[in-house]
Structure 1
Amino acid sequence: MSLPPQFKAMEAVFSYENFRLAPKLAAQAEAAFLRPNPKLQHALSNSVDKGLPPISVLPMAGQYLSILTQLIGAKSVLEIGTLGGYSSICFAEAGARVTSVEINPKHRDVAIENVQGLDVEVLLGAALDVLPKLLEEGRQFDLVFIDADFKDHWEQFDMAVKLTRPGGGIFLDDVVASMFKNGYPGEGSESLLTRIGEDERVRATLMPTVASHPMLTTPVFNGFIMAIVKSH
């Protein structure tokens, strides 16, 4: 069966070969959309100077998080995985009070330096130790951003649901990378996707992404889960 002409044209446009253009497209988008931000620039340079790994949220992704925060009117954000505080700054500058959880003492110290002057608290500890304490305190957040250890994604997501107000959102980053790292699940087998899909407390979607990373020579195929909490 031959493809209709319009589908042949689409096949050419969306060809895998075009993924190689991702670095050029990313550079054009950054030049067009990003404005100088001394706070973010300092966070990046200070993190590098202090020896933190270069795995911060990319600038365009940070801008997306900032826009998302404003779109949903989030005034309180819980962040799981601080690193140097780059994404914390994005949330805070968008008008949210940020509670961030970081397991590494050195990373936390650098993050505190980087977020100085903003409404950000950085809590030290493993997420699965800290989050139950926040729940006991009755804390609720408008948005939860999970950007931490792949192996605990489900447990972190489960706690995030409990800590997000009904109608609030959960952003689970690096889901596709996590699945590839842990072994892509076969069809019909249980995975993070199936567990979240079966969770009646949320309505969720997976957004695949292609991005260019300055530390890598090829485009990065990744993706994130965005969920809205219906009930606890």
Structure 2
Amino acid sequence: MRNIKLTIEYDGSRYQGWTRLGKDESNNTISNKIIEVLKRMTDEYTIELNCGCRTEVGVHAYAQIANFKIDSEMDVQDIKHYLNRYLPMDIAIIDVEEMPERFHAQLNATSKTYVYRMTIDDVPSVFDRKYIYHCYKIPDKKLMQQAAMLLIGKHDFKNFSSAKKSKSTVREIYEIEVYGDTEEMQILIHADDFLHNMARLLIGTLLDIGLGNRMKEDIEDIFAGIQNPSAPCDPKGLYLQEITY
């Protein structure tokens, strides 16, 4: 069996995330669209597609990583061309590479980076409205940076997640950057891994602090379970930027 690695870019606007299982199971997912084309390409009925990071409903990706195993001897460039020919236009295969047998997109990942884009201009762009969150008030960048410092390091992030079951909720955030100019602000979060909805809840809370709706000290109370995090940020501004191995 050959082990094939994909680097994927996608617009998550019209999909139910990377995959949707359980009571909310859906075929309208990024992974299902790719698997459908892979089955047609290889004539193999069962294909398991592993991803580096399961993005949620409406979240986009600049560089999602996935891998699958096939018997086909098809050249990697031919695989790339076939997938891009038959996939929807909002899913693109940037790169295809043959990997050692033991490579696994999720299990071998060492860190993941999300970036959140928001416009703070007076008038939201008509052309960017589906891909950048518009903030009608300018958040206090310095206050958000101070709050972000309380999140960096190894913590139990169970209260910053909507996951009902998880073996461990301890994660380590290596870096949070809040930067921007007079038109656009961005929040970058680099961590060893993310729990379900963790990135959106962290960003939503940081935004509320920046807008003066809550105090930066609330971060410690959320960790302690005394307060709840803010509502998750709008997914349209969130992008999976990088997965490292």
Q: Under a length normalisation based on structure 1, what TM-score does the superposition of the two structures give?
A: 0.29
Higher helix share: 1
Query: Which protein is richer in strand relative to its size?
Result: 2
TM-score by length of 2: 0.28
